[in-house]
Amino acid sequence: MSDIYSYSVELPKRSIPLSDYKNKSILFVNVASKCGLTPQYKDLQALQDAHADSLQIIGFPSNQFKAQEPGTDDEILNFCQVNYGVTFPIAKKGDVNGPETQPLWKALKKDAGVEEIDWNFSKFLLKPDGTLTWFPARTTKVVSTVWNVAGCKCKVADPPGRRRGQALSGRRRAQLRRLVGRCKSEASV
């Protein structure tokens, strides 16, 4: 296993050592602003807000899937903040597959036994105990990662008719926040 915490994330204007988050779960997400899954930014931000004390989400823009992230680092960051209110770190744009894969993503894939990232919004969840889980983009909704983040057994089904990648409604986000609160109190018992 790689020591993921020995890596740093290059943001457009600074670098963040992952060791800063050693006592939190870290959700690594490859992101894109012109993808059908782009509305997941809203869900990711809701998840970050709900778990700010125990989770750090980090977005990694990549233009490798049908050129769906064509912007510059500044354009990408502005898009995320203006359209989705994103406050979690967004790294510099880079590759998640192929010969130019970012070193952190090489380590994540190797440790999780993943050969290739399948699409935008694939996720890796690293828990403080070192457990690393890969969530393929096409089969994993943001809501389903909350169970792994919170470490609880709560279950809430996705609403009927919700399309993959579709943003959560305000009511659904409120339900998610209540669920997170229940999970946190379960975990503290």
Q: Which residues are catalytic?
A: 35
Report the 3 state secondary structure along the chain: CCCHHHCEEECCCCEEEHHHHCCCEEEEEEECCCCCCCCHHHHHHHHHHHCCCCEEEEEEECCCCCCCCCCCHHHHHHHHHHHHCCCCCECCCCECCCCCECHHHHHHHHHHCCCCCCCCCCEEEECCCCCEEEECHHHCCHHHHHHHHHCCCCCCCCCCCCCCCCCCCHHHHHHHHHHHHHHHHHHHC
CA distance 88 to 167: 17
Q: Are 164 and 138 in contact (CB under 8 A)?
A: yes
Strand partners, 15: 10
CA 77 to chain centre: 15
